[in-house]
Amino acid sequence: MAIRGNLNEASLPDVLQLLAMGGKTGTLTLTVDRSAGTISFDNGRICHASVANRKLTTDDAVFAMFKWTHGFFSFDAKIGPPPGADLISVDPQALLLEGARRVDEWSLIEKKIPSFDIVFALDRQQLLRNKIALSDEQHALLPLIDGFRNVTALMRVSGMGEFAVGKALFGLLSGAFIVAVGTREPDRPVVAESVIAEHRNLGIAFYKARMYSDAAREFRRIAQLRPDDSSAAFYLGLIALRDGRWNDAASSFQRAAASTPHTTAVLINMAYAYERAGHHEKAKLALEQVTSRAPKPVPLAHLGLASIALARGDLDAATAALLHAREAWGGSTPPASWYHYAGVEALLRANFERATQLLAQGVARYPSSAVLLNNLSVAQEACGRFDEARRSVERAAQTDCAMPQLYRNLGDALGREGRSAEAEQAYLKAAAATASVGPVR
């Protein structure tokens, strides 16, 4: 005689206990929304279970159905397990106890993984820093987490059940080893490459024309249509950098790196975003990936390491990084930023003559660099060359740069010469420049 009912009125654990106590033989069928599953019994013991379109062990199939709290069930004593199925013999009571524990844990997991459509990518910098032992399931999943597969795909490819995958992902998320980068529905239609190309071409054109909000709109549309598109994530990162949204920029470059992990430009820009956001260790790790993996020296990576070392007060590391950067440029002229950091390093060592020499070389190559002129003025003043210092800072003030410190230095230089009225005007400009920049955050 068939038994039928509604899971709203009788839960699956209640039904399993009833069939086990009655020593029933047959198959229990459950249907919930678009899912279906079966649990076969032999004299009150579970011998096989499966969920449609999913490769799960009998135990995992039963645990998966434990979360079905609505839908319908029916038991038919005339139906046995599928032909050729691997049969076992399990006491339902043991599965009920384990299932109750898993349901409790799953309520926590669902808070971090509310949908199987979520796509995760690795936070490679965090993984490099990790000293915590990962589980076997987490080790098995790491190579499969590529910024493209959703949770459903991870279960299919790994061959693990949803609880094992969910628990492993929960741990990786808690340790910040992975980040959610979007969603990917199983039946998502394939977007024509021509549609993506149209948005990409428009986005690049807007970006080159400095119409950044319009460019961002096009690249965001690509990200919606194709969440794993690294180019769109990269440009969104560049736009965020220009807006000073350092954390947003770092997140965008992280998504780009998930699909193109060895791209030098992605890692260097990611490091810059991390540095500006104050995450110096993450910035350092990203740049070290470039210097260790790139087929040839990358001077900008070494220059970034010099900047981080200076921010930390590690002058020896800064000196080494600046030397590596200069060697990587070979006979080419370094950019103004190299002279800036080299001058700062010499100033911090109180080697004022060397700082003056380096900064003077930089000014000779980049005569309109207000930063170099301002720093040169500081070095010249430290050497007691006050006239030269005043001329350098006056040249800096004639550029389009509006650094508050520049005008304060100019005011100090003019004040030493007794030119109080001009010094006052310089201080007023410093105050105005400070107000226009706003508070430092």
- Please report whether residue 106 resides in a domain: no
Same domain, 433 and 372: yes
- 429: Cβ contacts below 8 Å, ≥ 6 apart: 397, 407
Name the residue range of residue 312's domain: 296-328
Containing H/E element for 303? helix 299-312
- Please report whether residue 347 resides in a domain: yes
pLDDT digits (tens, 9 = 90+) for 230-244: 889 999 999 999 999
* 400 vs 342: which has the higher pLDDT: 342
Q: For residue 12, what are its two tokens?
A: 């699956």
Same domain, 233 and 320: no
The burial class, CB within 10 Å (0-12 / 13-18 / 19+), for 83 is exposed
Residue 436: pLDDT band by 50, 70, 90 thresholds?
A: very low
Which DSSP letter does residue 144 get? G
Instruction: Provide the terminal-to-terminal Cα distance of the chain, rounded to the nearest Å.
Output: 73
Same domain, 212 and 279: yes
Same domain, 344 and 421: yes
Query: Residues 235, 219: contact at Cβ < 8 Å?
Result: yes
Q: In total, how many domains does the chain have? A: 5
| Strand, helix or coil for residue 26 | strand
Task: Give how far Cα 68 sits from Cα of 7, 92, 193, Å.
Answer: 8, 17, 39
Looking at residue 73, what is its pLDDT?
Answer: 92
Sign of torsion, CA 83 89 93 94?
negative
Looking at residue 437, what is its pLDDT?
Answer: 40
pLDDT digits (tens, 9 = 90+) for 222-272: 888 887 788 899 999 999 999 999 989 988 888 887 666 557 888 899 999
- 200: Cβ contacts below 8 Å, ≥ 6 apart: 218, 219, 222, 231, 232
| Strand, helix or coil for residue 209 | coil
- Please report whether residue 354 resides in a domain: yes
At 363, which CATH number?
A: 1.25.40.10
Question: Is the pLDDT at 423 greater than 80, yes or no?
Answer: no
Looking at residue 177, what is its pLDDT?
Answer: 83
Same domain, 306 and 379: no
Same domain, 306 and 262: no
Query: Residues 292, 270: contact at Cβ < 8 Å?
Result: no
- Please report whether residue 104 resides in a domain: no
- Please report whether residue 265 resides in a domain: yes
pLDDT digits (tens, 9 = 90+) for 149-184: 888 888 888 888 888 888 889 888 877 788 887 776
Same domain, 281 and 316: no
- What CA–CA distance (Å, rounded) separates 92 from 19? 9
Same domain, 323 and 337: no
Domain end residue (candidates: 183, 198, 217):
183
Q: For residue 116, what are its two tokens?
A: 């199987």
Q: What percent of the chain has pLDDT over 70?
A: 89
Domain end residue (candidates: 183, 218, 241):
183
Q: Which residues pair with 3 in a beta bridge?
A: 75
- Please report whether residue 355 resides in a domain: yes
Query: Residues 7, 66: contact at Cβ < 8 Å?
Result: no
Task: From 79, 42, 83, 86, select the one nearest 61 (Cα to Cα).
Answer: 86
- What CA–CA distance (Å, rounded) separates 158 from 110? 20
- Please report whether residue 343 resides in a domain: yes
Same domain, 250 and 237: yes
Q: Name residue 115's amino acid.
A: S
Query: Residues 325, 359: contact at Cβ < 8 Å?
Result: no
- Please report whether residue 281 resides in a domain: yes
Sign of torsion, CA 198 204 209 214?
positive
Domain end residue (candidates: 328, 351, 379):
328
Instruction: Please work out, in degrees rounded to the nearest 5, the angle formed at the alpha carbon of residue 289 by the alpha carbons of 285 and 294.
Output: 155
